Structure 1
Amino acid sequence: MSEYVHKSHNVTVLLYHLVFPAKYRRAVFDEQVDEVLREVCLEIEKRYEVKFIEIGVDKDHVHFLVRSVPTYSVTKLVKMIKSLTAKEVFRRCPQVKQKLWGGEFWSDGYFASTVGKHGNEGMIANYVKNQGNEYLKLHRDEQLTLF
């Protein structure tokens, strides 16, 4: 589950539930795209102060449960995740670009909601799980860290 992020002058736990629909709400997510999306998100964790608690896909949209720091606004977080994932999906899965008529991967809109640490995180994770018809969990971070 989520942990407090300790910095030199603050302690935070900022959790966001983000939903990104694919452009034109096209059903572009398959096993290959799912794996690329998961790999890219785990690489983002290594380079930025972002932790993907859960990633889940339905046929035409993706749910993220993300922990971040106060220096990243929701808009900055969304732009970063959308741009990096879209570039890599198009590079590694060229058939997706053809399905989307050579356009963008994500639609312009998104859904963002904050999640409280006490009481609401499990409820939102359950909501995300039961949201779509064919929800598939790609990643769930339950690994304990030493430092």
Structure 2
Amino acid sequence: MAKYRKVAFSPEVDDTLREVCLEIEKRYELHFLEIGTDKNCVHFLLQSVPMKSPTQIIKILKSITARELFRLHPEIKKQLWGGSFWSSGYFVNTVSKFEDESTILKYVRDQGIEKDYQVLDKI
């Protein structure tokens, strides 16, 4: 999540984030299956080797993406006055080959898509 829940993602920033992630893939043993953004947060579905802990992966992602997004989009740094791009927290979950990866893939893919909710009349 972007620091202070500020709206930091635009189509241009999304594209840059994806490009940076592709570069991360080349240097680290990570493979991004899906990247979903929604104005102030990002969801990743990725694969990694078992030797990398989730904490190591998060540190890699947060540090490199923040540095590159600030460098390539200086306007973001003005919005996030504290100098940090990401909030300090994160959520990690693992998916095994026996769990339903397609559900998580759909969730990540649908980030930022406006949902059509039907309002039910009260009886």
Look up the match of 2:32. 52
Q: Is the 8 A contact 1:57 1:135 kept in 2?
A: no
Look up the match of 1:78. 58
Question: One-letter code of the match for 2:53?
Answer: S
Q: Is the 8 A contact 1:55 1:64 kept in 2?
A: yes
Distance 2:89 2:82 in 1: 19
What displacement does 1:47 show? 0.7
Distance 2:12 2:82 in 1: 19
Look up the match of 2:119. none
CA offset digits 1:55-88 (Å, max 9, x no partner): 0100110000010001110000000010000000
Residue 63 of structure 1, aligned match among 27, 43, 50 = 43
What displacement does 1:40 show? 0.4
Question: One-letter code of the match for 2:75?
Answer: Q
Question: One-letter code of the match for 1:42?
Answer: L
Question: One-letter code of the match for 1:24?
Answer: Y
Runs (4+) of structure 1 exceeding 3 A deviation are none
SS in 1 for 2:98: coil
What displacement does 1:102 show? 4.6
What displacement does 1:127 show? 2.5
Using structure 1 for the length normalisation, give the TM-score.
Answer: 0.73
Question: One-letter code of the match for 2:85?
Answer: F
Correspondence 1:10-49 to 2 at 5 A: 21-49=1-29
Q: Which has the higher strand share?
A: 1
Look up the match of 1:92. 72
CA RMSD of aligned residues (A): 1.5
Q: Which has the higher helix share?
A: 2
Correspondence 1:103-114 to 2 at 5 A: 103-114=83-94
Look up the match of 1:7. none
Q: Is the 8 A contact 2:34 2:108 kept in 1?
A: no
Select the structure of larger CA radius of gyration: 2
Using structure 2 for the length normalisation, give the TM-score.
Answer: 0.86
What displacement does 1:94 show? 0.1
What displacement does 1:119 show? 4.3
Question: One-letter code of the match for 1:82?
Answer: K
